[in-house]
Amino acid sequence: MPASRHRKPGQIVHSDAPFNAEPRLDRLRAAYLTERADFYVRSHGDIPDLEAAGYRLTVVGAVATPLDLSLSDLIRRFPPRSITATMQCAGNRRADLNRLRPVSGDPWAPGAIGNARWDGIGLGDVLRAAGVDESAALHVAFECHDEIDQDGERFRFGASIELKKALSAETLLATHMNGEPLAAEHGKPLRVVVPGFAGVRSPKWLASITVQDRPSDNPMQADDYKLFPPHLDKDSADPADGVTIEAMPLNAAICEPAEGATLKAGPCVMRGYAVACDRAIRRVDVSADGGATWRQAELSSDDASPFAWTFWEIDTTLSPGRHELVVRAWDAAGQTQPADPEDVWNFKGYLASSWHRVNVTVV
């Protein structure tokens, strides 16, 4: 399918093949549940167009009863489950690290994130039906239908999570996003949704599940999406020594006004999002003077879902001149974000979570 078919008006497209795009931040902040047209797409290979009819999922490996089920078998056999959860790429806000020193990967602004209500069935229900040993230190590996070309290799996308997270009530095999069947670019007809974890652990176009005694050996799991200290680079870093990125750190961004905007002097509403895996956002500080002085924003969130983002908003008054607007959030553990991107720089550009800064000119 031509990638251009997935382009939507107003999107910032980082690449067509593979298709990678994020929304403008004012569009992202326009709805608590992100509309399909404004939901970022991160793909590593092609975007398969699979029909629900004919789709099958297999569950094999360290299970007592291997399964081979159609989509309607899955829906008939397991109780419906749903959750409102934020999906976020580990590379969200990478542009802020790239500005310091070049990093690899697409230079995502703060739009590689979206929030949705996901409906489907529980991954744990399926694994229990397959007779998995719930107390064992096992890993749940996923294989997908899309094919990736990377470093001269061609392989299907795969990743894994620990059995404990796979059995958690929040982890779903989703068929629907915001009440609509999954769109092709988001994993039609079935994807994994692992709330709170980096997007890479939520495989789209799921083909098979293997329960095994070690993490997936797919390059996505074994080599990519690992965090390294700042002195290492592509040639010196050993993937086996990197930290596997799973739970996402506390982060926040200013969505309005936009970077580089020219504004009229006087009242200005600042808006954005904050998120911290499964921890509540307790406070959002906003500065209009580069972090010298701070005020607290109003928060709004879905209290029923700890995995959903919090929206924040504050009325401020800006005088003529140049202003550096800054946001930092605080979570239920009393943690906040590092001030300086230098503190979190890594050559892959993951987990850019320092204070978000937006420069505006007021006339």
Q: Which does 144 bind (CB under 5 to 8 A by kind): Mo ion, ligand MTE, none?
A: ligand MTE
Q: Residue 72: what residue type?
A: S
Say whether residue 226 binds ligand MTE (CB under 6 A): no
Region 187-216 residues binding ligand MTE, contact defined as CB under 6 A: 199-200, 202-205
In the bound state with Mo ion, the residue whose beta carbon lies nearer, of 325 and 351, is 351
In the bound state with Mo ion, the residue whose beta carbon lies nearer, of 73 and 149, is 149
Work out which of 55, 118, 157, 197 binds ligand MTE, going by CB under 6 A.
157
Q: Cα 13 to the chain's mean position, in Å?
A: 17
Say whether residue 356 binds ligand MTE (CB under 6 A): no
The number of residues in the chain equals: 363
Bridge partner residues of 124 (DSSP): none
Say whether residue 199 binds Mo ion (CB under 5 A): yes
Least distance from ligand MTE to the Cβ atom of residue 223, Å: 13
C-alpha span between 235 and 105 (Å, rounded): 16
In the bound state with ligand MTE, the residue whose beta carbon lies nearer, of 29 and 328, is 29
Residue 265 burial (CB count, 10 A): 12
Region 257-276 residues binding Mo ion, contact defined as CB under 5 A: none
Distances (CA, A) of 211 to 1, 64, 189, 234: 32, 11, 22, 31
C-alpha span between 296 and 327 (Å, rounded): 10
DSSP 91: T
The structure tokens 């001030």 sit at: 339
Q: Cα 348 to the chain's mean position, in Å?
A: 16
Say whether residue 146 binds ligand MTE (CB under 6 A): yes
134: which 2 tokens?
Answer: 């719930």
Q: Which range touches ligand MTE (CB under 6 A), out of 1-9, 36-44, 123-131, 229-237?
A: 36-44
Site string for Mo ion, 34-73 (x = CB under 5 A): --------x-------------------------------
Residue 107 burial (CB count, 10 A): 17
Work out which of 144, 211, 252, 281 binds ligand MTE, going by CB under 6 A.
144
Site string for ligand MTE, 78-117 (x = CB under 6 A): ---------x-x----------------------------
Inter-residue contact 68 to 115 (CB < 8 Å): no
Q: Identify which of 360, 362, 357 has the alpha carbon closest to the alpha carbon of residue 286.
A: 357
In the bound state with ligand MTE, the residue whose beta carbon lies nearer, of 82 and 316, is 82
- Phi then psi for 77, rounded to 5 degrees? -80, -30
In the bound state with Mo ion, the residue whose beta carbon lies nearer, of 108 and 273, is 108
User: Which residues form the interface with ligand MTE (CB under 6 A)?
Assistant: 39-44, 87, 89, 144, 146, 157, 186, 199-200, 202-205
